[in-house]
Amino acid sequence: MLCEKCKMREANIRYTEVVGGVKTEYNLCSHCAREMDFGHYSAVFDTDYPIGKLLAGLFGLDADGGENDEFDVNQVTCPTCHTAYSDFVKDSRFGCPDCYRVFDLLMSENIKKVQGSDTHTGKRPLYNREGGQEGAGEDEETRLLKSIEILDSRLKEAVQEEEYEAAARYRDEIRELKERLGEHA
Amino acid sequence: MLKWYQETENQHDVFVASRIRLVRNLTHCPFPVKLSGEERKKLAEKLEEGLKDIGSVCRKDFRRISLSAAGGTEREALRERRAIGAAGAAEEGMESLLLSEDETVSITLAGDDHVRLQCMSGQAELSRLWEEADRLDDYINERFPYAFHEKYGYLTAYPTNVGTGLRAAVTLHLPMLSAGKRFGKLVAEIGRFGVAVRGVYGDGNETYGSLYEISNQKTLGVTEEEVITLVKQMADRLAASERKMKSVTLKSHRTDMEDEIFKSYGVLRYARKLNLKEAMTYLSQVRAGEMEGLLQFKEPVNICRLMTEIQPANIRMLVPEEEENDLNQARAAYIRKLLPELV
Ligand SMILES: [Zn+2]
Ligand SMILES: [Zn+2]
């Protein structure tokens, strides 16, 4: 079972809470449980730990974002396997290797949160002779265009919400992508 | 041929087992979740065909088990022996399994990911297992190009495996530590380093038998060697705490400890019915007693083997069908048969 909060890690902590005779169960990963500031992680082993108030605002977290008028990131869909970004968020599972390219910019922050990094440093395949450069060029261009489109809509959103710091970051990323697009053209 | 968990432990220790798991996917193929039953089967057949000589890499004989055709009990028994993961035990969880005779190497095909490769042993030897997995991985890759991304590394169905696709895990027996008040705090401390501690056997709420698996949580941005070093370090730390606590308790409460251990042995030796929790609890005590030399058996015995083989599905596989209705009885009988007399 996946953690109810981040929906990315395996839930390994189950809290059972009885309030007013109603029993509720929460499944969280150790990371989220810790972040929730439940006070003591040792609660895992204590059955009668009071956590009621701490959970109050917790599960509304998923409700924000995505509903904006002109561009909905949840609609971004992988052309190869037809997994929509909203499916990925829901199941926290990819449909095919191409999903990583399509959702790259949308999810990289989340992956960073879960993994603490977003760049592989370990072993590389010895025998991947294909993975060729010819076909990849076109893919790369499409990918960049798509990413720019997404970032652009996020930039507009950020400006609207007066989140200038975020806006500046999006602007920088867009500039960088456009430069890379130029190299490809 | 004996399976790895049946071999006599040459040294009774806090360390019980080591495990390396890699997940890999092929290029140009959707992850199994997006495949139809027929497509999954085809994929599994293609992989089986390509890997039919995999035994030559590690000089072991492999057998092929069709998991989609196997019964629920058989799948569950494989999961209890940790040859497959929880996902594989589920209905339609995965297509097929290549399992070495001694069950140290298992390769599941068309499960959550295209390939899940696992090397296991009853020794504290993560680095050697990694070398073996690394070799097997290259062998598979030579036949099937992998989905690999410059930034994200090996691509996996779940973002929690992406990068190295590596899970390095050590199983520890922690009867003293886990009974203590500080255990939760210790686990939390270790968690801050990105290492998880999970009970191996239990009912979902409670761990039975005090076997815990220590494993890395992060798979991206760390090298395989870094992961293994980290898990080793944390496992060593827990093992050291366990040993220390044991020696302190032995000094201060020797008679109490002996009493508990001998009572546990007595129950296992003579009980006619044992449920899982009872059996695991007493076996854990007996193992601790043997480790400290408080119990001396006439013949060597591997208590962890018993802990594995008395799990519900495994015990069911061992007894004839007509006795199946009383597993507690079968469990007690099995333990009586394998538990040796004291010197
Ligand atoms: Zn979580
Ligand atoms: Zn896809």
ipTM: 0.86
Give me the pLDDT at residue B255, please. 94
Give domain status of residue B184, yes or no. no
Range of the domain at B264: 246-338
Q: Nearest bound ligand to CA A28?
A: 1
| pLDDT for res A135 | 38
Q: Which helix (H) or strand (E) holds A78?
A: none
Say if B289 falls within a structural domain. yes
Burial of A80 by CB count in 10 Å (0-12 exposed, 13-18 middle, 19+ buried)? middle
pLDDT at A148: 80
pLDDT digits (tens, 9 = 90+) for A146-176: 778 777 877 887 788 777 877 888 888 888 8
Residue ranges, chain A, pLDDT below 70:
14-24, 30, 33-73, 129-140, 184-185
The answer to the question of residue B275 being in a domain is yes
Do B97 and B84 contact (CB within 8 A), yes or no?
yes
pTM of the shown model = 0.77
pLDDT tens-digit readout, B227-264: 999 999 999 999 999 999 999 999 999 999 999 999 99
Q: Which residues are within 5 Å of ligand 2 (an ion), measured at CB? A: A 78, 80-81, 83, 95-96, 98-99
| pLDDT confidence of residue A45 | 28
Instruction: Give residue A127's pLDDT.
Output: 86
* Residue B189 belongs to some domain of the structure: no
Q: According to the model, what pLDDT value does residue A62 have? A: 36
Question: How far is residue A155's CA from residue A23's CA, in Å, rounded to a whole number?
Answer: 43
Q: Which of B116, B159, B119 is nearest to B25 (CA)?
A: B116
Strand B153-154 and strand B105-109: pairing? unpaired
Chain A residues whose beta carbon lies within 8 Å of the beta carbon of residue B188: 34, 40-42
Q: Is A57 in the B-facing interface, judged by CB distances under 8 Å?
A: no
Picking from B22, B141, B151, B187 by the largest number of A CB atoms within 10 A of its own CB, the best residue to mutate is B151
| Mean pLDDT over the full length of chain A | 68
In a domain, B72, yes or no: no
Per the structure, how many domains does chain B have?
1
Cβ separation of A126 and B138 shorter than 8 Å?
A: yes
B325 falls within a domain: yes
Instruction: Name residues of chain B where pLDDT drops below 50.
Output: none
pLDDT confidence of residue B152: 94
Q: Is B250 exposed, middle or buried (0-12, 13-18, 19+ CB in 10 A)?
A: middle
- Enter the DSSP assignment of B297: B
Predicted pLDDT at B116: 96
What is the per-residue pLDDT for B10? 62
Are B153 and A122 in contact (CB < 8 Å)?
Answer: yes
What pLDDT, on a 0 to 100 scale, did the predictor assign at position A132?
A: 42
Contact A18, A38 (CB under 8 A): no
Q: How far is CA B161 from CA B211, B287, B341, in A?
A: 24, 34, 46
Q: How far is B125 from chain A (nearest CA, A)?
A: 20
Assess if residue B17 is contained within a domain: no
Asked whether the CA dihedral A115, A117, A121, A124 is positive or negative, the reply is positive
Q: Residue B180: what pLDDT?
A: 86
Q: Please tell me which residue of chain A has the smallest CA distance to B205.
A: A14
Amino acid A23: pLDDT: 57
User: Is B264 within the bounds of a domain?
Assistant: yes
Residue A181: which of A146, A148, A144, A138 has the closest Cα? Answer: A144
What tens digit of pLDDT does each residue of B176-194 get?
999 988 888 888 888 888 8
